[in-house]
Amino acid sequence: MDTLVEIQDVTKVIKGRTIINSVSFEVKKGEVFGFLGPNGAGKTTTIRMMVGLIGITSGDIKILGSSIKTDFEKAISHIGAIVENPEMYKFLSGYQNLVHYARMSRGVTKEKIEETVELVGLTDRIHDKVRTYSLGMRQRLGLAQCLLHDPKILILDEPTNGLDPAGIREIRDHLRMLARERDMAVIVSSHLLSEMEMMCDRIGIIQNGKLIDVQHISDFVQGEEKIYEIEVDHPEKASSLLKGAQPDIPIQLTGNSVLLPLVRDDIPNLIKNFVQADIKIFAVREVTKTLEERFLEVTEYKEDAGNA
Ligand SMILES: Nc1ncnc2c1ncn2[C@@H]1O[C@H](COP(=O)(O)OP(=O)(O)OP(=O)(O)O)[C@@H](O)[C@H]1O
């Protein structure tokens, strides 16, 4: 089965207020799925429903086909999650923490603990006390805790919160490795857009409790049209030529370039027209939008549409 998690038309109403509104998406094995949204959008609430911390008002969540509503124990057995700060004893070593934690779940062997420590890269420091760990190391110990029972799905709420760039990178690399090499489905939430861009295969954007977009990261960043920057000797002349052919086309002028949306197949013709008009072309570059720009574009657009 490739689809490990199915969120089906999930709604959550708290005290008469709809916090999550008909959210549906799927997460497959081997992928890192990012749940992205501004503060208060509903990321944590959705994740809390996925891990069974709060109930679902309507709709369902299936984990490897088992409903979290009707087959809770089975569904939850496939999940490893860090939702709030993972519980750990700072006066014990990382290893003692894992042994303590393993006692709470069935069938975790000493070998399994050691393998997991190795997997999260804590072997060298595992016998040191947790209070001597950096935040990044504590995050990795938390990751080890929730991997002990061999879950197929890993769910982490804001896993990079508070980490420095090196710590972020460590966690990111580990999560990608778990998805790729262990065939897990990894779900992370964040409002750190640049982080999501580097970590995720697909992202879902949530705003005001609604899922407004789910896309592969590359499609999402690119959007439907691509923006090209054409470096020329006379940008104004190039701009009027383009406007003459297509009056509505949105063109931006920078120092020595024109920027405009194009489909790739239009480029040869455009070059021909410039050359015929005696405009010299020095470069044609695709402008890659950052996820941040696209995110703001999408959320602002939806807000406008919602207000209309
Ligand atoms: N138990 C609750 N009672 C009332 N309102 C709640 C409750 N839990 C969440 N909310 C509201 O639901 C909305 C979504 O909250 P949630 O914590 O899921 O957002 P989030 O996307 O995780 O935000 P953040 O990035 O700030 O963590 C917020 O407006 C919040 O105030």
Q: Which residues pair with 284 in a beta bridge?
A: 230
From atom 17 of ligand 1, which residue's Cα is the shortest distance away? Answer: 44
ipTM rounded to 2 decimals? 0.94
| Structural domain total, the chain | 2
Q: 37 in ligand 1 pocket by Cβ < 6 Å?
A: yes
Q: Assess whether pLDDT exceeds 90 at residue 46.
A: yes
Mean pLDDT over each residue of the chain, to the nearest integer: 87
What are the tens digits of pLDDT across the range 112-121?
A: 999 999 988 8
Task: Indicate the top mutation candidate among 45, 83, 156, 161 to test ligand 1's pocket, ranked by most ligand atoms within 8 A of CB.
Answer: 45
Q: Would 273 be classed as within a structural domain?
A: yes
Q: Which domain holds residue 232?
A: 224-287
Tell me, yes or no, whether 142 and 159 share the same domain. Answer: yes
| Residue 259 pLDDT greater than 50, yes or no | yes
Q: Is the pLDDT at 228 greater than 90, yes or no?
A: no
Residue 136's pLDDT is 83
Q: Is residue 40 in contact with ligand 1, taking CB distance under 6 Å?
A: yes
Say whether both 171 and 274 belong to one domain.
no
Same domain, 20 and 145: yes
Q: Is residue 36 part of a domain?
A: yes
Cβ contact 165:96 at 8 Å: no
69 plus 190 within the same structural domain: yes
Pocket lining: 39 vs ligand 1, CB cutoff 6 Å = yes
> From the CB of 16, is ligand 1 less than 6 Å away?
no
- In this prediction, residues 76-102 reach a mean pLDDT of 87
* Angle between the N-to-C axes of helices 135-147 and 94-104, in degrees from 0 to 180, rounded to the nearest 10: 30
Angle 267-276/235-245 helices, nearest 10 degrees?
120
Tokens 């990012």 sit on residue = 34
Residue 188 lies in a domain: yes
CATH number of residue 229's parent domain: 3.30.70.100
* 305 found inside a domain: no
Half-sphere exposure of 296 (CA within 13 A, CB side): 6
Evaluate whether residue 292 is within a structural domain.
no
pLDDT given for residue 308 in this prediction: 37
pLDDT > 90 fraction of the chain, expressed in percent and rounded: 50
- Please state, for a pLDDT cut of 70, what percent of the chain lies above it: 91
CATH number for the domain harbouring residue 116:
3.40.50.300
User: Per residue in 121-180, pLDDT tens?
Assistant: 899 999 999 999 988 888 889 989 989 988 999 999 888 877 777 778 888 888 998 899
**Sheet with 257-262: strands ordered across:** 252-254, 257-262, 226-232, 281-287
Model pLDDT, residue 1: 65
The structure's pTM equals 0.76
Domain membership of residue 122 (yes or no) is: yes
SS3 (DSSP) at 183 = coil
pLDDT tens-place string over residues 282-307? 999 988 766 666 667 666 655 554 44
The reply to whether 137 and 277 lie within a common domain is no
Question: At 10, is the pLDDT very low, low, confident or very high (cuts 50, 70, 90)?
Answer: very high
Residue 221 is predicted with a pLDDT of 64
- Same domain for 50 and 167? yes
Q: How far apart are CA 197 and CA 203, in angstroms?
A: 9
Which structure tokens are listed for 240? 């009027």
Residues 192 and 155 in one domain: yes
The pLDDT of residue 307: 44
Residue 222 has a pLDDT of 59
Q: Are residues 121 and 190 in the same domain?
A: yes
Residue 16 token pair: 């008469």
Bridge-based pairing state of the strands 32-36 and 79-82 = unpaired
